[in-house]
């Protein structure tokens, strides 16, 4: 018996490797033949999973584009993308596509678990009817559950093994089946009564972050006008040992989760005559941040008597967060686009991102990079921000990482 994983991205591949490392046989399925081919030859496309880890458990892992190979698996875990479409509404295309394929594959006695972040009701209302086209009945002939992924790419202190995992089955015995499978790779399991609870819990986690980031971002804009140091404010408030949780201002939100997932709930809420105002407002404030950062860049250049047009602006860090190369929804890209539209001569340094073809840019070495203004948009560990400060005539720090340097050429968010 083996564990099947459908979708071998940021979520699916770490899960596949974790099960293989726990001694399980794993069948990984992806529609992208390039990823499958790479993994077959032991090459990982996910930064958090070094190729050596894939190679070390290669004999227990099989990678394929053929979902039919999952027929004999004990469990099938679905980790496909759940993006928004052009109208910023949920695009269940990849998920429904995977479910349709699985309907022709699943076998009596199997467990199917959805891990992709989505609105409450997806498992019961969308997955069940498609999977039951197999002729099998969910909760009776096969077990079905929702268990949200909580992976935080780039993070090493909390991994799959020590991050509690929520599990909500269609029936109590579905939950039991899923707990048994996840118990092999996760130390703490959190069973809940329904898939809907598990689906909404994941959204609450992401919305909580989005709203709190928006709150501190809005206060950062106000503090800027009031000439108060927002970082010192955050430090001071964080000294409260209870009732406060630290969130830091920044250039906006990126990644596949925070700018996307909350709007799955907004969309669903409309069906219940609800406008989820916190979610919308947080999205609005966070989306405005690159524009505010542009204004800060314009002001910093203005101090040197320069317009954006023709000025050399060095962006330090273009991934959406430190320690990873993920560019999805990265606010740095928006800032670069806004600068290029205004005729700015933009270069970037990011050890995780060799090139940005759509922007006509390649990574430049930090040492000796000449510019009129350097902007720290994403603070990667290992990047020498001290060097950036000493070699640049002016620096705008959007992440608060140069505060200890006390240089008068630096302005902060
Ligand atoms: N990236 C994160 O940090 C994170 C964290 C928690 C939850 N999630 C959620 O997990 C889900 C997956 O996210 P991700 O970041 O791993 O996405 P990803 O784009 O990195 O990976 C998804 C993979 O699924 C494959 N795929 C698409 N359709 C398929 C199909 N029909 N059959 C088989 N494979 C298919 C794609 O080729 C891709 O390799 C999303 O719902 C996301 O919101 C992501």
pLDDT in tens, 7-63: 999 999 999 999 999 999 999 999 999 999 999 999 999 988 999 999 999 999 999
Q: What percent of the chain has pLDDT over 90?
A: 97
Structure tokens at 367: 């040492």
Mean pLDDT of 372-384: 97
Mean pLDDT of 135-140: 98
User: To test ligand 1's pocket by mutation, which of 256, 258, 262, 324 has the most ligand atoms within 8 angstroms of CB?
Assistant: 256
Catalytically annotated residues:
257
Helices (H) and strands (E) in the chain, counts: 12, 15
Query: Collapsing DSSP states into helix, strand and coil, what is residue 255?
Result: coil
105 lines ligand 1 (CB under 6 A): no
Mean pLDDT of 73-88: 96
The pLDDT score that the predictor gives to residue 406 is 83
- pLDDT surpasses 90 at 151: no
* Contact indicator for 408, 396 with CB cutoff of 8 Å: no
- Residue 81 Cα to ligand 1 midpoint, Å, equals 4
111 lines ligand 1 (CB under 6 A): no
Confidence band for 339, pLDDT divided at 50, 70 and 90: very high
The phi-psi region of residue 382 (left if phi > 0; otherwise alpha if psi is between -120 and 50; otherwise beta) is left
User: Among all chains, which residue has been given the structure tokens 């076998």?
Assistant: 107
- Residue 7 Cα to ligand 1 midpoint, Å, equals 6
Query: Collapsing DSSP states into helix, strand and coil, what is residue 314?
Result: strand
The pLDDT score that the predictor gives to residue 154 is 84
- List 312's β-bridge partners, or say none: 345
List, as one string, the DSSP characters of 33-64: HHHHHHHHTT---STTS-HHHHHHTGGGEEEE
The pLDDT score that the predictor gives to residue 153 is 85
Mean pLDDT of 92-117: 97
Measured from the CA of 261, which atom of ligand 1 is nearest? 43
Q: Enter the pTM of the model.
A: 0.94
The pLDDT score that the predictor gives to residue 133 is 97
84 lines ligand 1 (CB under 6 A): no
Confidence band for 306, pLDDT divided at 50, 70 and 90: very high
The pLDDT score that the predictor gives to residue 107 is 96
The pLDDT score that the predictor gives to residue 77 is 98
Confidence band for 1, pLDDT divided at 50, 70 and 90: confident
Longest Cα–Cα distance of the chain, Å, equals 72
Average pLDDT, the chain: 97
Provide the residue count of the chain: 413
How many angstroms separate the CA atoms of 331 and 285, rounded?
13
User: To test ligand 1's pocket by mutation, which of 4, 11, 199 has the most ligand atoms within 8 angstroms of CB?
Assistant: 11
- Residue with the smallest CA separation from ligand 1 atom 7 is 149
- Residue 48 Cα to ligand 1 midpoint, Å, equals 15
151 lines ligand 1 (CB under 6 A): yes
* Contact indicator for 328, 255 with CB cutoff of 8 Å: yes
For 30, residues 6+ apart whose C-beta sits below 8 A from its C-beta are 6, 7, 8, 9, 12, 36, 63, 65
What are the tens digits of pLDDT across the range 155-181?
889 999 999 999 999 999 999 999 999
The pLDDT score that the predictor gives to residue 295 is 98
Mean pLDDT of 247-252: 97
Q: Which of 167, 254, 152, 263 is nearest to 207 (CA)?
A: 263
Mean pLDDT of 375-397: 97
Strands (DSSP E) found in 30-155: 61-64, 75-78, 111-114, 143-146
Confidence band for 256, pLDDT divided at 50, 70 and 90: confident
- Residue 187 Cα to ligand 1 midpoint, Å, equals 23
How many angstroms separate the CA atoms of 348 and 12, rounded?
31
The pLDDT score that the predictor gives to residue 155 is 87
153 lines ligand 1 (CB under 6 A): yes
Mean pLDDT of 194-213: 98
């Amino acid at each position: 018996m083996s564990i099947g994983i459908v979708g071998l991205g940021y979520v699916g591949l770490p899960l596949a490797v974790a099960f293989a490392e726990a001694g399980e046989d794993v069948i990984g399925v992806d529609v992208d033949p390039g990823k499958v081919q790479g993994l077959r030859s032991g090459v990982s496309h996910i930064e958090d999973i070094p190729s050596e880890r894939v190679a070390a458990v290669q004999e227990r892992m099989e990678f394929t584009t053929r979902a039919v190979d999952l027929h004999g698996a004990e469990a099938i875990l679905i980790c496909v993308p759940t993006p928004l479409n052009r109208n910023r509404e949920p695009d269940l295309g990849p998920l429904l596509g995977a479910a349709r394929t699985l309907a022709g594959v699943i076998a009596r006695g199997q467990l199917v678990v959805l891990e992709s972040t989505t609105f409450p009701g997806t498992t019961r209302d969308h997955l069940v009817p498609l999977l039951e086209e197999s002729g099998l009945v969910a909760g009776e002939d096969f077990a079905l559950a929702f268990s949200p992924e909580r992976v935080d790419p780039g993070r090493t202190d909390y991994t799959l093994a020590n991050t509690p995992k929520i599990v909500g089955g269609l029936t109590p015995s579905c939950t039991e089946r899923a707990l048994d499978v996840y118990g092999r790779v996760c130390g703490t399991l959190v069973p809940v009564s329904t898939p809907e609870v598990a689906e909404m819990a994941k959204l609450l986690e992401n919305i909580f972050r989005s709203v709190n980031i928006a709150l501190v971002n809005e206060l950062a804009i106000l503090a800027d006008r009031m000439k108060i140091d927002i970082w010192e404010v955050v430090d001071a408030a964080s000294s409260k040992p209870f009732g406060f949780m630290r969130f830091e201002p920044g250039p906006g939100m990126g990644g596949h989760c925070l700018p996307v997932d909350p709007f799955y709930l907004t969309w669903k809420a409309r069906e219940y005559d609800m406008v989820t105002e916190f979610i919308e407002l947080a999205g609005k404030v966070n989306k405005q941040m690159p524009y505010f950062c542009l204004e800060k860049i314009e002001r910093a250049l203005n101090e040197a008597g320069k317009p954006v047009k023709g000025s050399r602006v060095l962006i330090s860090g273009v991934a959406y967060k430190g320690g990873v190369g993920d560019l999805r929804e990265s606010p740095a890209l928006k800032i670069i686009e806004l600068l290029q539209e205004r005729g700015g001569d933009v270069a970037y340094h990011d050890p995780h991102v060799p090139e940005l073809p759509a922007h006509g840019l390649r990574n430049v070495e930090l040492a000796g990079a000449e510019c009129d203004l350097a902007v720290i948009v994403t603070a990667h560990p290992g990047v020498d921000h001290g060097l950036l400060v000493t070699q640049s005539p002016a620096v705008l720090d959007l992440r608060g990482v140069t505060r200890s340097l006390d240089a008068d050429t630096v302005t902060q968010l």
